[in-house]
Structure 1
Amino acid sequence: MNAPSRTIDTATVGRPRYAGINIRTWAGFKQYLDLLEEAVLDHFRRSGHSARRMHETFGHGLDIVETSGTYSAPISLDQVTRTQLTITEPVPHQGLPLKALVTVDGPERTRPAFRGTARAALVADRARTDCPPLPPELRSLAVESVDALEPIRSGNPPPPLHPPASAGPGPVPTGPETNALLWRRRIPYYHCHYDRRLQHAGYVRVLEDTVDRYLDAQGIAIGDYLATRGWVPVVHRTRLRMLADAFMEEDLHIVFAVTGVIRGTLFDARMNCYVPRGDALVPTATATITHGYAHAAGERAGTLAELDETTVKALLGGAR
């Protein structure tokens, strides 16, 4: 029988950033994942192996390569949060698995706001060939590239993508009888790190942007619903997994589709990302997101709205 894994518990105190306070004073889902990212960075700092040191000295970039979790309470501007990580032993070729709990201080009690998991790895910088080897305690975290990581969980891989000839910056259907839309966009430098690799936080922002684009393309733009109904999308659950490296200024092909409606108040969707490698499009990331609409003002502010037939039809588009 294997010995039980050693676990480490750490906690990081923070607040949501002002840039992510987009509706009223509520933090968006990317802010929760930013708090998680900061806690991971803080853990490595405390261990004496900061992200800066690992890259500058040893030529490896600290990457969060997978996150998954459920959002259970709002976080507002200026509120104090506490992100607790439970970290187990790293697994060779799989990185460092961890569990995360984000709580938020309220006037009467502390509430859980996010609960989930993440995975971190040290990805080699291929341009750095003159670095000393990593310290022994870090070597099990190292991989040559993101696609060298072995998946921890099973899941449906992204299907092959054969984009229509008309694919461009605007949305186009990926085929008949589907609500999946395809965008193509250049990977900007501000979504990358370590000079050129698209990072987890960049994919989170791509996901947020893609949801916004999809809703607009289906005729239910966020601004219109906020103005006419007082509704704003809220996130219940996300999962994002990086599959392969994607680099600055490559063309990122993004496919997004709503896959179902749950109990008349939530909708599931999936995003798959690809970049060209030779004559093929290689999957670089996959994500799922569960959204609802919340009332943004009045007595029902913060509560889920019932999705009416018009909204459901627009969400599902041409799906059968």
Structure 2
Amino acid sequence: MTTHTADLKASVLALKEPSSLEIRPRYEGSNICTWIGFKHVNYLVEEAVLNHLRQSGIAPGTIYEMYGLCTDIVDIDTRILHALHIDDTALAEVRTHRRAQDDELLFAVTLHVQRETLLKAVTSTVRVQFRLDPRDGGEQPVPASLAPFAVDRLTAVPGWAPEPVEVDLAADDLVKELTSGHNAYAWKFRIPYWYCHFTERQQMSGYLRLMEEAKDRLVADRGVSIKSLLDEQNWIPVVPHSRITILDEARMEEDLYVVLTIESVFKSFTYDSRMDTYVVRDGKLVQTATGRITHGYAVIENRRDWSLVPFDSRMNTALEGRAV
């Protein structure tokens, strides 16, 4: 047994030990007043998981260069309990999730933030896979200690088979086909290289960007854009929960069809939407990801504070699928 192989075995065991990291939100995430949006909260979770791998001795850059293993987040399920602000320092804690099997990398992530007391601000469950690089192998074969986590195709749900989608792929407007009869908005998006990593595939952060854009596009299409509600009612959208699950791979420069469907409204305070993404590949519609996000609205009270408000008739009309 080589020293490096022995070190990797020790690293896999070290993954089961908790790690911690002090981390600040990126300035880019402070879009309205000083609050940090859900996308950048998820970025903090992602950084905490990558730090956990590095502290355990399984650095993403190293295992890619040596073994051709691409580190991918394939499922991220995040609840925001308290808002983060741009100057906050969050204490991130990562540990193996209690439901994790021996052959999977499933982590529980918690972010704490200091207020009058130390508050639990964010909880998240994150699944990671090591994707074998399809372009070529690494400098060395994949060690036996990492082999259980290596896959030749990304999917957070092994053996997943897509639900059949009744759509005419020969239709002139596939976007209309995907939304016909549904309370939904969709558009076609060419995947750029800056949404990808490892030279090949769209990464989780790309899906997070699309989920944020989908909300922005839907409400603008229905006459209640983010800017109009800010100007006219001092309202901002808030997100207590989001989840994205990768079901298949989406590749650089493919056309991705993004569909956001409003599924339910809860007591005129929050609404749940489902995001589904598809590519047309080999004459078939292939679903690459699904996700859910919960939105509410809050009124800005001052530069630091906000409070939730019930939807008014204008918002309820928009959520029903009618322009206002």
**Structure 2 length as normaliser, TM-score?**
0.88
Determine the C-alpha separation between the residues in 1 that align with 2:262 and 2:238.
15
Q: Would the alpha carbon gap of residues 138 and 189 (structure 1) be closer, same or farther in structure 2, given more than 3 Å must change? A: same
**Which residue is equivalent to 1:3?**
none
Change (3 A) 1:300 1:22: closer
- Equivalents in 1 of 2:310, 2:237: separation in Å? 12
Query: Would you say the 8 A contact 2:33–2:304 is kept in 1?
Result: no
CA RMSD of aligned residues (A): 2.3
What's the counterpart of residue 182 of structure 1? 186
**Structure-1 residue corresponding to 2:167:** 162
Q: Tell me whether 1:20 sits opposite 2:29 in the alignment.
A: yes
Q: Structure 1 runs of 4+ off > 6 angstroms?
A: none
Letter in 2 for 1:212: D
Match of 1:290, SS state, is strand
**Structure 1 gap ranges (5+):** 1-5
Task: State how far apart, in whole Å, the 2-side matches of 1:268 and 1:158 are.
Answer: 20
Tell me, which stretches of 5 or more residues in structure 2 are unaligned? 1-14
1:288 aligns with 2:292: yes
Instruction: Give, in angstroms, the shift of residue 161 of structure 1.
Output: 5.7
Instruction: State the AA in 1 paired with 2:210.
Output: V
1:101-180 correspondence runs (5 A)? 101-106=110-115, 108-129=116-137, 131-147=139-155, 150=158, 160=165, 162=167, 165-167=171-173, 172=176, 174-180=178-184
Report the counterpart of residue 279 of structure 2 in structure 1: 275
Letter in structure 2 aligned against 1:139:
A
Counterpart secondary structure, 2:147 = helix
Pairwise CA distance, 1:157: 5.6
CA distance in 2, matches of 1:253, 1:40: 29
> 1:299 Cα deviation (Å)?
9.7
Query: What percentage of residue pairs aligned between the two structures are identical?
Result: 33
- Paired residue secondary structure (1:132): coil
Given that 2:35 and 2:84 are in contact with CA atoms closer than 8 Å, whether structure 1 keeps it comes out as yes
Report if the CA contact (8 A) 2:21-2:92 is conserved: yes
User: Which residue of 1 is the match for residue 18 of structure 2?
Assistant: 9
In the aligned structure 2, how far is the partner of 1:301 from the partner of 1:163? 48
Amino acid at match of 2:82: A
Contact 2:280/2:286 (<8 A) preserved: yes
- CA-CA distance at 1:41 after TM superposition: 0.8
Quickly say closer, same or farther: Cα 1:90–1:56, change in 2 above 3 A.
Answer: farther
Over 3 Å counting, the alpha-carbon distance change for 1:37 and 1:208 in structure 2 is same
Q: CA deviation at 1:173?
A: 6.6
Could you say if the C-alpha distance between residues 302 and 161 of structure 1 is closer, same or farther in structure 2, counting changes exceeding 3 Å? farther
1:256 equivalenced with 2:260 (yes/no): yes
Instruction: Summarize deviations over 1:105-142 as a string: whole Å, max 9, x none.
Output: 22x21111111211011011100135422223211111
